[in-house]
């Protein structure tokens, strides 16, 4: 199976280049980055240096679509233009797939611009390029046209331990606007608030219990990564209602706290707990994470003393 990855010099592009190569595919990465050739040599795959945002060279476009699987690993704001350029030239029997964080618009566009004989698959791997493998990772599939290549990709992901969930593009975006969009929004706002307060994050770590240090680390994890990616997710998910609801809830809680209304705050927490569901399982699972954090910290401290 021949796999070409547009945006192959990016973080996830490199990850999937290595993944498909390790699973027996003949892989080629396409990117405009000056590091494209070096990255290809390091992974051990072919490469084509090209500006994927415009693909002005027709001959390059033909070389790009001469493949079995064309994987789009480009930024969200470029995805539509790239689909419109390469989609109509895909040959029957090939597979066009993407790994964009949003799904409704890309999968519909892939369907519209490709021939009926072209397989189309939207995917969303819910992990980043730091993941060591696909084992235990959730990957959303939004299948549009399935065929032999779709089945091979599905089997490959499943064989490597992925937890595959099938959704429509609409449902995916609705769910992810909360799972990812709201979570990222809260963590980014947390980080911005620390900055506004001029709070000494590192200096305060010695006062943090493991739970609070874990939460702080997740704020740092988001801030450490590509800010453009997170900004694009916020602006490409339909976040209006989610943001408005979160801000209204935060404002209501702030007013109750300012009024000293302990009973009302308790009532809000009680209703949220009932809606949440299995808080006992959440407590047990998070206890495991905290215990692991304690164990790692103790080992690090013991090693420093040796």
Query: Crossing angle of helices 279-305/210-224, nearest 10°?
Result: 90
Q: CB atoms < 10 A from the CB of 109, how many?
A: 19
- Name the one residue in this structure whose structure tokens are 């032999």: 148
| Positions in the chain whose pLDDT score sits under 50 | none
Q: How far apart are CA 142 and CA 169, in angstroms?
A: 6
Return the pLDDT at 33: 93
Return the pLDDT at 137: 97
Most distant pair of Cα atoms in the chain: their distance = 70
Return the pLDDT at 55: 56
Return the pLDDT at 52: 75
- Cβ pair 122, 107 in contact under 8 A: yes
Q: What is the model's pTM? A: 0.88
Two tokens, residue 245: 């609801």
Q: Is the dihedral of CA 207, 180, 7, 93 positive or negative?
A: positive
Q: How far apart are CA 3 and CA 21, in angstroms?
A: 9
Which domains are present in the chain?
Answer: 2-167 (3.40.50.720), 171-305 (1.10.3660.10)
Return the pLDDT at 54: 64
Instruction: Classify each residue of 192-219 as buried b or exposed e, where b means 16 or more C-beta atoms within 10 Å of its C-beta.
Output: eebeeeeeeeeeeeeeeebeebeebeeb
CA R_g for the chain:
23
Query: What is the percent of the chain where pLDDT is above 90?
Result: 92
46-49 and 26-31 beta bridge pairing: parallel
Residue 95 DSSP code: E
Instruction: Tell me which residue of 183, 250, 172, 195 sits closest to 221, measured CA to CA.
Output: 183
Return the pLDDT at 51: 84
């Amino acid at each position: 199976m021949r796999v070409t990855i547009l945006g192959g010099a990016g973080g996830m592009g490199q990850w999937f280049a290595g993944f498909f190569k390790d699973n027996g595919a003949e892989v080629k990465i396409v990117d405009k980055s000056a590091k494209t050739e070096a990255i290809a040599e390091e992974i051990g795959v072919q490469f084509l240096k090209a500006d994927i945002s415009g693909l002005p060279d027709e001959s390059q476009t033909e070389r790009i679509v001469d493949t079995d699987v064309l994987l789009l690993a480009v930024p969200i704001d470029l995805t539509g233009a790239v689909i419109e350029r390469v989609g109509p030239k895909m040959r029957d029997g090939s597979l066009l797939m993407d790994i964009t964080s949003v799904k409704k618009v890309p999968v519909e566009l892939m369907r519209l611009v490709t021939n009926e004989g072209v397989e189309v698959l939207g995917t969303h791997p819910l992990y980043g390029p730091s993941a060591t493998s696909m084992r235990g990772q959730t990957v959303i599939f939004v299948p549009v046209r399935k065929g032999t290549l779709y089945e091979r990709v599905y089997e490959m992901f499943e064989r490597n331990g992925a937890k595959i969930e099938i959704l429509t593009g609409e449902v995916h975006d609705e769910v992810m606007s909360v799972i990812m969009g709201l979570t990222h929004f809260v963590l980014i706002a947390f980080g911005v608030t620390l900055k506004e307060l001029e709070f000494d994050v590192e200096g305060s770590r010695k006062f943090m219990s493991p739970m609070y240090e874990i939460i702080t680390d997740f704020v740092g994890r988001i801030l450490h990564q590509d800010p453009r990616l997170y900004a694009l997710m916020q602006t490409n998910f339909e976040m209006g209602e989610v943001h408005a609801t979160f801000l209204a809830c935060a404002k209501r809680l702030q007013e109750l706290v300012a009024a000293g209304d302990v009973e009302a705050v308790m009532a809000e927490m009680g209703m949220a707990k009932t809606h949440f569901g299995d808080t006992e399982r959440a407590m047990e699972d998070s206890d495991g994470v905290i215990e692991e954090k304690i164990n790692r910290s103790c080992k690090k401290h013991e090693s420093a003393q040796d």
